[in-house]
Amino acid sequence: MKIGILLVGRASEDLVDKYGTYAEMLINLINSDEKLFEFKTFNILDGIFPLNHNDCDGWIVTGSPHGVYEEHSWIPIVSQLIKDIYDNKLPIFGVCFGHQLIAQALGGNVEKSTKGWGLGLHTYQINNKTNYMGNLSSEVTLNICHQDQVLSPPNGATVYAKSDFCENAGFYIKDKVLTMQAHPEFLVDFIKALLTARRDVTIPKQFVDPALIGLKSHPDSVQSNQFAETIRRFFLN
């Protein structure tokens, strides 16, 4: 199965050199020893787009520091591609910004949250599990880095992940759309480095410092591998 990754964000060069791009992190997360998938990355920020939705068998939209409501020329293009993927019943998975853009493209609402930044370790309650989610626990802890939130998911979406901080943290539509606000691809070392680099630059230290303390105190609590199995099952469903 060939999965196209729409790479819509990038970290600083020093972080990329050490940890890889967001697309490479997702590939490392999803690819099991069996190498069930072939991946092709489209660097959207460099103007590299797929010809159409049929370029791949399934799709992923990555995270990004941008907001889905910002006026960038590539956002309407990717939004239309998401609609085409959905209309043609191809599977699509979105993480963080990707979760938000899929929601917006399919009729949901995304805004900057009045709750402020969510950073570091975060635990979600898992409910309404569908057939490929059998491996998910009733609570899942993943790394987060976001201020925007999906305030209302698209029509027909079922919310399966939520918390007091984020009511619509993950949704699915039938067996062709899966999203997650958190970053299962972010390892603890990477998000510690990312938050340290952004501390009082783009994210106020009063949000960053408690997150760094939590990451230092509970480095083994991230359940990325569990969610990776859900992603694999989604695409193979």
pLDDT tens digits, residue range 151-163? 999 999 999 999 9
Query: Active site residue: 96, 122, 145, 166, which one?
Result: 96
Long-range contact set of residues 82-86: C-beta below 8 Å, sequence gap at least 24: 82/106, 84/52, 84/53, 85/53, 85/59, 86/173, 86/176, 86/177
- Nearest C-alpha neighbor of 29 from the set 161, 234, 226: 226
166 is catalytic: no
118, β-bridge pairs: 146
Do residues 95 and 26 touch, judged by C-beta distance below 8 A?
yes
Query: Active site residue: 53, 122, 146, 183, which one?
Result: 183
Q: CA-based angle 127:129:130, to the nearest 5?
A: 160
Q: Give the model's confidence band at 33: pLDDT under 50 very low, under 70 low, under 90 confident, else very high.
A: confident
39, β-bridge pairs: 3
Distances (CA, A) of 140 to 15, 20, 147, 227: 26, 25, 20, 8
- Model confidence, pTM: 0.96
Find which of 27-41, 59-73, 218-232 is predicted with most confidence, using mean pLDDT: 59-73
Q: 2-236: what fold?
A: Rossmann fold (3.40.50)
70 is catalytic: no
Strand segments (E) across 8-156: 38-43, 58-61, 92-95, 109-112, 118-126, 139-146, 148-152
pLDDT of the residue at 40: 98
Spatial distance between the Cα atoms of 237 and 221, rounded to a whole number of angstroms: 28
Element (H, E) at 171: strand 170-173
185 is catalytic: yes
Spatial distance between the Cα atoms of 211 and 108, rounded to a whole number of angstroms: 29
Weakest mean pLDDT among 10-14, 34-38, 75-79 = 34-38
| 46 DSSP assignment | G
Structure token digits, residue 7: 């790479």
Query: pLDDT tens digit string along 37-82?
Result: 999 999 999 999 999 999 999 999 999 999 999 999 999 999 999 9
